[in-house]
Amino acid sequence: MTYPSFSLQPPRLAVWLVNLFTVPDSAEAIMGDLLEEFSQIAHQAGVVFARRWYWRQSLKTIVHLICAAYRAAPWLTSAGVVGGSLAQRLLFRLVTPTIFAVLVRYQIPEHRIPHRFLV
């Protein structure tokens, strides 16, 4: 299916998130269904409405896929969530001092640092 313009593309971040949580065997079917419905809605109700619809459907799909994974393998899914949380905390504690050491070493002024890193 080809699109006449760039504006008829679904949100790239939503597409990426669905692909991230989808099993490779069913990814093509899920993405194809979402894309087909997105195209129909965009032609009927407009691109803005279709993008909002795509985001809602993407989030519903991700929640459904996570729940299905938990039902299929609850211990493995729980271990993945706990392990990911612990890894994220450990990496944050290791990386943050390194970032600030580089900032101090090279005397990067605060106004050049993105606000999200200062919080």
How far apart are the C-alpha atoms of 53 and 48, rounded to whole Å? 9
What is the pLDDT tens value at each position of the chain, 119 positions in all?
A: 444 555 689 999 999 999 998 988 888 999 999 999 999 999 999 999 999 999 999 999 999 998 998 899 999 989 988 999 999 888 888 888 888 888 778 876 666 556 555 55
Residue 111 and residue 87 share a domain? yes
Residue 108 burial class via C-beta count within 10 angstroms: exposed 0-12, middle 13-18, buried 19 and up: exposed
Residue 56 and residue 1 share a domain? yes
Kindly state the helix (H) or strand (E) to which residue 20 belongs, with its residue range. helix 12-21
User: Percent helix, strand, coil in the chain (nearest 5)?
Assistant: 85, 0, 15
Residue 47 and residue 26 share a domain? yes
Residue 36 and residue 80 share a domain? no
Residue 95 and residue 48 share a domain? no
Q: Which domain covers residue 111, as residue numbers?
A: 74-119
Q: Which of 36, 52, 72 represents a domain boundary (last residue)? A: 72
pTM of the entire predicted model: 0.64
| Cα–Cα–Cα angle for 39, 42, 48, rounded to 5 degrees | 135
Domain count for the chain, please give it.
Answer: 2
